[in-house]
């Protein structure tokens, strides 16, 4: 039992607290009736006229009012795609782009990929006929490289602008510039909240089109005391709501796939034990790597006399609207990519959300009727520990990739680029330095031939460099597999709770000398030798879907490699070359062993640890290169490979000096662990 206290309510603009349309009615509604019930519908003609009249329009309307799914259709019907030019609509998240495109195709009764399609990194579901194209903001950013004037578009909608992702922020500057010389291009900036005024000012006082939302009041409850384990608290709260509250679906906000899966497992387990003592509970996850057939399920109507529980990342905060949510459970956290501009270190961290986010989340409970939001933190924490707003990504992320793209677009003067909010100066400088060290820029800050080739790949500059370096080290076949496996940022290994021992043994069987990158390669190779067998994945506790995705990504990367005229060469026995190619890209991510089995990053002396899942967890090599840092209880390195320090002088001579790389002699290592692989034989 968790004790909640009600503290305040989110006011609504609806008098009645009863739904206007009952759930049963809603389920029977045709697509057309549903479209007409959306808050945006009465404004259809006004909106079309406004787009005809003004080149740039800011659109503000609450989440779920129909902006993303309806506006492109309205403009399509009004003739904005006549002549075959497209309407583009960007989304910060891939799931949103896919799911919304699928929905619009359904509403228009056509097959997805024909007139309506989507394009996300490593996946293009569009055709010659596509006139309504949803895409991630990153994809549009890349499209500028091949079509700098966006000539194939008549209308561009920058949607979910309030999310302020790094790509969206950079797009603001790019599209604003284009509108000056493409007077026929219509630009819509669409946002869920508050920021409309700011967007309007940025876009030379563009008019704001407001869509009044419908909002029922939401009662807000806080826990009496802080909760130590919020996953457990979620499970308890779900069951508590299920046992005591009238039917109505529940939306729970968690931080990522792993957490969602854990929560799902615990919940299913408890539900099973309660058996027929409770009503049916339909548990559905949603996160960015969820396969599309599973995504579609969250929109299926709840069966009668049952309750749906959606376990979501903050994708459900504004990007996706799930109808009939009455209860929201908000633990108050999200996963953020954080970048320390002093040390240049990036890591994924679970952080408290902002007040603005908390209120968005609560608002999701009041779309169809009066709702309740259960916050798993105290009212004191809300008032004192949450920031008012989330800091835009551009001010807290590594800009390496963004800067490379801008340079590739011929934008050299980044300091004077038209930013809505400029990034910190030191972050920009650091990005330039990093690109210089990687060889993508020369000392005038101009793009080199290598940099131009790196920009061809939709990859982080470090990974791009690794891939290109594999040419020199004659192992591009192997490196492209590794790059593809690293790009699948969901779990490769399957670890069911009741078979942990088996799963871990299976995982260890893939271990090879050298480290995790080579383990990934080993898995990929063995899998391809089975002709990509599903059964083999199953037997080896590997997630088939993740491997399949790696295969797709690999195919795309190979296509791009051919475009930049890179040969595919293989050198399966020469692991040193593979490790050198990895180091050539990731020499920023080097740590060396220091006292007590800890590692310190070379440049900034930051303490980091080997992740317990690593193949090198018990080895403790002196020098390692890591793929990423993840902060949980400690700063962990994930995907690690053993290297030799002298390679750093070979692959990054302008970044490392030999004196930095002397092995510290005062390091005392435990006996066995101190021995190198060679000594152990």
Rounded CA separation 14/16 (Å): 6
Binding to ligand ADP by residue 315, rule CB under 6 A? no
Rounded CA separation 472/474 (Å): 5
Q: Are 221 and 8 in contact (CB under 8 A)?
A: no
Binding to ligand ADP by residue 38, rule CB under 6 A? yes
Q: Are 495 and 541 in contact (CB under 8 A)?
A: yes
Binding to ligand ADP by residue 453, rule CB under 6 A? no
Q: What x/- string results for residues 484 through 523 when contact with ligand ADP is judged by CB under 6 A?
A: ----------------------------------------
Give me the least distance between CB of 70 and ligand ADP, in Å please: 6
In 245-391, which residue ranges form alpha helices assigned H by DSSP? 257-274, 292-297, 355-363, 379-385
Residues 319-338 that bind ligand ADP (CB under 6 A): 321, 323
Please identify, among the stretches 68-76, 409-417, 555-563, 567-575, the one whose residues bind Mg ion according to the rule CB under 5 A.
Answer: 68-76
Give me the least distance between CB of 319 and ligand ADP, in Å please: 8
Length of the chain equals 681
Q: Are 358 and 330 in contact (CB under 8 A)?
A: yes
Q: Residue 433 touches which of Mg ion, ligand ADP, none (CB < 5 to 8 A by kind)?
A: none
Q: Which residue is nearest to Mg ion (CB)?
A: 68
Binding to Mg ion by residue 68, rule CB under 5 A? yes
- For 448, residues 6+ apart whose C-beta sits below 8 A from its C-beta are 439, 440, 441, 442
Residue closer to Mg ion (CB basis): 321 or 639: 321
Residue closer to ligand ADP (CB basis): 28 or 671: 28
Binding to ligand ADP by residue 19, rule CB under 6 A? no
Task: Output the CA–CA distances (angstroms, integers) from residue 23 to 64, 325, 362, 463, 602, in the order listed.
Answer: 16, 11, 20, 49, 60
Give me the least distance between CB of 168 and Mg ion, in Å please: 13
Q: Residue 119 touches which of ligand ADP, Mg ion, none (CB < 5 to 8 A by kind)?
A: none
Residue closer to Mg ion (CB basis): 163 or 478: 163
Task: Output the CA–CA distances (angstroms, integers) from residue 550 to 120, 190, 215, 363, 479, in the order listed.
Answer: 15, 33, 42, 37, 13
Among 103, 335, 407, 579, indicate the residue that binds ligand ADP (CB under 6 A).
Answer: 103
Rounded CA separation 416/414 (Å): 5
Give me the least distance between CB of 215 and ligand ADP, in Å please: 13
Please identify, among the stretches 49-57, 63-71, 204-212, 430-438, the one whose residues bind Mg ion according to the rule CB under 5 A.
Answer: 63-71
- For 284, residues 6+ apart whose C-beta sits below 8 A from its C-beta are 294, 297, 298, 308, 309, 310, 311
560 SS3 class: helix
Among 61, 72, 371, 458, indicate the residue that binds ligand ADP (CB under 6 A).
Answer: 61
Residue closer to ligand ADP (CB basis): 62 or 642: 62
Give me the least distance between CB of 204 and ligand ADP, in Å please: 25
Among 102, 188, 328, 432, indicate the residue that binds ligand ADP (CB under 6 A).
Answer: 102
Binding to ligand ADP by residue 12, rule CB under 6 A? no
Tokens 């709501």, residue?
241
Provide the pairing of β-strand 116-120 with 132-136: parallel
Give DSSP secondary structure letters for 656-672.
--GGGGSPPTT----HH
Among 19, 51, 56, 65, indicate the residue that binds ligand ADP (CB under 6 A).
Answer: 65
Give phi and psi for 632, each to the nearest 5: -115, -100
Give me the least distance between CB of 298 and ligand ADP, in Å please: 8
Residue closer to ligand ADP (CB basis): 327 or 457: 327
Count of chain residues binding Mg ion (CB under 5 A): 2
Binding to ligand ADP by residue 191, rule CB under 6 A? no
Among 19, 51, 58, 63, indicate the residue that binds ligand ADP (CB under 6 A).
Answer: 63
Give me the least distance between CB of 156 and Mg ion, in Å please: 15
Give me the least distance between CB of 320 and Mg ion, in Å please: 8
Instruction: List, in sequence order, every residue forming a beta bridge with 325; answer none if it has no partner.
Output: 249
30 SS3 class: coil
Instruction: List, in sequence order, every residue forming a beta bridge with 352; answer none if it has no partner.
Output: 333
Please identify, among the stretches 96-104, 256-264, 404-412, 667-675, the one whose residues bind ligand ADP according to the rule CB under 6 A.
Answer: 96-104
Please identify, among the stretches 67-75, 456-464, 477-485, 542-550, the one whose residues bind ligand ADP according to the rule CB under 6 A.
Answer: 67-75
Give me the least distance between CB of 68 and Mg ion, in Å please: 3
Binding to ligand ADP by residue 100, rule CB under 6 A? yes
Question: Residue 138: enclosing H or E segment and its boundaries?
Answer: helix 137-146
**DSSP 8-state assignment for residue 279:** -
Phi/psi region, residue 654 (left: phi>0; alpha: psi -120 to 50; beta: rest), is alpha
Binding to ligand ADP by residue 302, rule CB under 6 A? no
Give me the least distance between CB of 183 and Mg ion, in Å please: 27
Rounded CA separation 176/156 (Å): 11
Please identify, among the stretches 60-68, 395-403, 471-479, 634-642, the one whose residues bind ligand ADP according to the rule CB under 6 A.
Answer: 60-68
Residue closer to ligand ADP (CB basis): 111 or 449: 111
Give me the least distance between CB of 60 and Mg ion, in Å please: 12
Give me the least distance between CB of 316 and ligand ADP, in Å please: 11
Phi/psi region, residue 365 (left: phi>0; alpha: psi -120 to 50; beta: rest), is alpha
Rounded CA separation 663/644 (Å): 11
Gyration radius from the chain CA atoms: 26
Count of chain residues binding ligand ADP (CB under 6 A): 17
Please identify, among the stretches 98-106, 178-186, 543-551, 646-654, the one whose residues bind ligand ADP according to the rule CB under 6 A.
Answer: 98-106
Residue closer to ligand ADP (CB basis): 40 or 438: 40
Binding to ligand ADP by residue 68, rule CB under 6 A? yes
599: its two tokens? 């590692």
Q: Give all strands (DSSP E) within 297-340, no chain letters.
A: 306-312, 325-330, 333-340
Residue closer to Mg ion (CB basis): 65 or 390: 65
Residue closer to ligand ADP (CB basis): 134 or 473: 134
Residue closer to ligand ADP (CB basis): 38 or 459: 38
Give phi and psi for 556, each to the nearest 5: -65, -45
Count Cβ neighbours within 10 Å for each residue of 587-612 and write b for 16 or more, e otherwise. bbbbbbbbeeeebbbbeeeeebbbbe
Binding to ligand ADP by residue 299, rule CB under 6 A? yes
Residue closer to Mg ion (CB basis): 68 or 223: 68
197: its two tokens? 């005024």
189: its two tokens? 């900036």
Rounded CA separation 414/433 (Å): 13
Residue closer to Mg ion (CB basis): 67 or 589: 67
Instruction: Enumerate binding residues for ligand ADP (CB under 6 A).
Output: 38, 61, 63-70, 99-100, 102-103, 299, 321, 323
What is the contact surface with Mg ion in residues (CB under 5 A)? 67-68
């Amino acid at each position: 039992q968790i004790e909640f206290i009600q503290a305040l309510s989110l006011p609504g603009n609806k008098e009645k607290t009863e739904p206007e349309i009952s759930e049963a009615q809603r389920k029977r509604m045709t697509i057309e009736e549903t479209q007409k019930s959306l808050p945006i519908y009465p404004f259809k003609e006004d909106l079309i006229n406004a787009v005809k009249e003004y080149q740039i329009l800011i659109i503000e309307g609450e989440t779920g009012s129909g902006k993303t799914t309806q506006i492109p259709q309205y403009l399509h019907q009004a003739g904005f795609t006549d002549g075959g030019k497209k309407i583009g609509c960007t989304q910060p998240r891939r799931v949103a782009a896919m799911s919304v495109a699928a929905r619009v195709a359904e509403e228009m009764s056509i097959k997805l990929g024909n007139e309506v399609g989507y394009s996300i990194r490593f996946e293009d579901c569009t055709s010659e006929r596509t006139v309504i194209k949803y895409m991630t903001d990153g994809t549009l950013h890349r499209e500028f490289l091949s079509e700098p004037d966006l000539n194939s578009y008549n209308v561009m909608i920058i949607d979910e602008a309030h999310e302020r992702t790094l790509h969206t922020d950079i797009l603001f500057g790019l599209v604003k510039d284009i509108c000056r010389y493409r007077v026929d291009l219509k630009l819509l900036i669409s946002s869920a909240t508050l920021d409309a005024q700011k967007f309007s000012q940025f876009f030379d006082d563009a008019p704001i089109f407001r869509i009044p939302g419908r909002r029922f009041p939401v009662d807000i409850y806080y826990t009496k005391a802080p909760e130590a384990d919020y996953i457990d608290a979620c499970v308890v709260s779900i069951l508590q709501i299920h046992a005591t509250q009238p039917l109505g679906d529940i939306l729970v906000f968690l931080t990522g796939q792993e957490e969602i899966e854990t929560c799902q497992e615990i919940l299913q387990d408890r539900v099973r034990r309660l058996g027929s003592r409770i009503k049916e509970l339909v548990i559905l996850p949603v996160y960015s790597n969820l396969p599309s057939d599973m995504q579609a399920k969250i929109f299926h109507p709840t069966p009668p006399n049952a309750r749906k529980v959606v376990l979501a990342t903050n994708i459900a905060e504004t990007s996706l609207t799930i109808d009939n949510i009455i209860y929201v459970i908000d633990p108050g956290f999200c996963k953020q990519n954080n970048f320390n501009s002093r040390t240049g270190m990036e890591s994924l961290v679970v952080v408290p959300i902002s007040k603005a986010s908390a209120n968005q989340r609560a608002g999701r409970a009041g779309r169809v009727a009066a709702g309740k939001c259960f916050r798993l933190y105290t009212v004191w924490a809300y008032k004192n520990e949450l920031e008012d707003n989330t800091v835009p990504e551009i001010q807290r992320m590594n800009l390496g990739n963004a800067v490379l793209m801008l340079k590739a677009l011929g934008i050299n003067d980044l300091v004077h680029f038209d930013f809505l909010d400029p990034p910190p100066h030191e972050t920009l400088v650091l990005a330039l330095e990093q690109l210089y060290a990687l060889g993508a820029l020369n000392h005038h800050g101009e793009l080199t031939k290598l940099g131009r080739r790196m920009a061809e790949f939709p990859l982080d500059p470090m990974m791009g460099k690794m891939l290109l370096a594999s040419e020199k080290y004659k192992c591009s076949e192997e490196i492209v597999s590794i790059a593809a496996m690293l790009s699948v940022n969901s779990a490769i290994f399957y670890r069911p709770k009741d078979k942990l021992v088996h799963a871990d043994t299976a995982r260890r069987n893939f271990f090879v000398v050298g480290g995790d990158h080579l383990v990934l390669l080993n898995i990929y190779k063995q899998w391809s030798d089975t002709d990509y067998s599903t059964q083999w994945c199953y037997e080896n506790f590997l997630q088939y879907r993740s491997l399949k995705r790696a295969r797709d990504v690999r195919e795309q990367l190979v296509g791009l490699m051919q475009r930049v005229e890179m040969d595919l060469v293989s050198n399966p026995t020469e692991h040193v070359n593979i490790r050198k190619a990895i180091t050539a890209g990731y020499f920023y991510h080097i740590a060396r062993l220091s006292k007590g089995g800890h590692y310190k990053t070379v440049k900034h002396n930051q303490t980091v640890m080997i992740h317990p899942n690593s193949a090198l967890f018990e080895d403790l090599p002196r020098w390692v290169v890591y793929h990423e840092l993840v902060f949980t209880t400690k700063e962990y390195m994930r995907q690690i490979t053993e290297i030799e320090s002298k390679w750093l002088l070979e692959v990054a001579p302008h970044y490392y000096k030999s004196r930095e790389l002397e092995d510290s002699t005062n390091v005392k290592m435990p006996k066995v662990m101190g021995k190198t692989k060679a000594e152990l034989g």
